[in-house]
Structure 1
């Protein structure tokens, strides 16, 4: 009977240790979240997650294996809020200094930074409220039927669909808000050498992947394509990481970058 009591006691102690460990992690996540919000002038607390167990062992060593940060941020060139994410691998900082805000510059082995521009913000940016982003047109030649659809991850050619407004002194122009019918275009999505996204509409699209669209007279073709063409400045991802990749995924434009062996500024999750 005494042996059972010892086992039960050990299990209780182990359970208590786990609870205390998760409690310490949760408190640290809260403190770092508030510091990031204040330092980067965010509208709400970002989501901060310390990965790895036990957390206390990492804290005592001042070496954190993996920290994820997600936040809503505001950029002067993109209307509304966008989602920014940062994955910090190998963070070197005393926990006390980190949670008390005594250290702002933190060495990190690797930073995975990401920015998601969602459909609502894209619609505001293009001034096309019902704008949708689709994957590339299906390539029937490979036997797969192509990818298509809004859930596809892709880079290069994409499809944009929306109802645009053109000035017309006569009849409603197909593919405009006057006609009430959307138009679809093929567009090139690319990241230039300066770290800016180039979205360049190249042709009117009438395929199956996008919403059925209105016919656009040739005389209006260039005007419509211009409505779907934009440059987006994304040179600074979270913590100043340079963008390396852009793709369309799930109706969003996603920009990613990686920095290695860098010292991040906790006040620069969102760039000024």
Structure 2
């Protein structure tokens, strides 16, 4: 029994050591391909690892890097989900990995509320939140409390974002709640306010007409999030807690040792 336990412990230790070696190899190659200042965090999912390693087929690999600088933003996050990553075991163990083939992947760039706030002149605090169907229904039902001209008709939750901002309104620091539409304009993020209120929640009230135009201009933004991982074309845009994410997919991608890629 003691020998069996020792064998199991040794097998688990070898499994984790082999996974760490493969993660390091992948991280080093992806740092070049993604043009990152440091190696990204890489996690190979699935246990036991050795069964994947022997077949050279890793079912799902997660890649992440944070606090990247893109234009005026310096807290951009990069995420990638890689499916069926092909790594020859011999090259992994010898540290001579020449290329990585990926069957399918999703690449994502994440713009945080911290970076978004810097784009909004006069805003001192900002929270980015997704919008659920109930919030849209409530905004539509209580449209009399919204800024004149506001309308959330036709907006779906997956194309909406709520911005809760603190800014100057008629000489006072005030919390303003904005429901805006998210759209892709080529490779850029377009934010168009549709419902603006003073305060948030049940206490929200209509804003004076005199500040309507300036607030609409303030919260109308077009942001360049930079290139998506693996040069994928952005197709999906959504709000999550504290951030806006733009994503795209690619298939049959090969990452060479020099950092280049090819796909079909």
TM-score bucket (shorter structure): 0.7 to 0.9
Specify the alignment match of 1:103 in structure 2. Answer: 98
- Aligned with 1:42: secondary structure? coil
- Pair 1:185-2:178 in alignment: yes
- Aligned with 1:139: secondary structure? helix
List per-residue Cα deviations over 1:170-192 (Å, max 9, x = no partner). xxx52xxx422233333211224
Specify the alignment match of 1:148 in structure 2. Answer: none
Specify the alignment match of 2:248 in structure 1. Answer: 257
- Aligned with 1:253: secondary structure? strand
Relative to structure 1, the CA distance from residue 209 to residue 264 in structure 2 (aligned partners, 3 Å threshold; closer, same or farther) is farther
Specify the alignment match of 1:161 in structure 2. Answer: 164
Matched residues, number: 241
- Pair 1:130-2:125 in alignment: yes
Tell me how far 1:13 sits from its aligned partner.
Answer: 1.6
Relative to structure 1, the CA distance from residue 162 to residue 179 in structure 2 (aligned partners, 3 Å threshold; closer, same or farther) is same
Q: Scaled by the length of structure 1, what TM-score is found?
A: 0.74
Specify the alignment match of 1:169 in structure 2. Answer: none
For 2:96 and 2:77, the matched residues in 1 are separated by 24
Q: In the alignment, is the contact (CA less than 8 A) between 1:77 and 1:232 conserved in 2?
A: no
Q: Max radius of gyration: which structure?
A: 1
Relative to structure 1, the CA distance from residue 237 to residue 93 in structure 2 (aligned partners, 3 Å threshold; closer, same or farther) is same
Gaps of 5+ in 1: 1-6, 144-152, 166-172
For 1:219 and 1:140, the matched residues in 2 are separated by 25
Relative to structure 1, the CA distance from residue 217 to residue 142 in structure 2 (aligned partners, 3 Å threshold; closer, same or farther) is closer
Relative to structure 1, the CA distance from residue 98 to residue 82 in structure 2 (aligned partners, 3 Å threshold; closer, same or farther) is farther
- Pair 1:198-2:190 in alignment: yes
Q: Scaled by the length of structure 2, what TM-score is found?
A: 0.75
- Pair 1:46-2:37 in alignment: no
Q: In the alignment, is the contact (CA less than 8 A) between 2:107 and 2:249 conserved in 1?
A: yes
- Aligned with 1:126: secondary structure? coil
Specify the alignment match of 2:5 in structure 1. Answer: 11
* Aligned-residue RMSD, C-alpha: 3.3
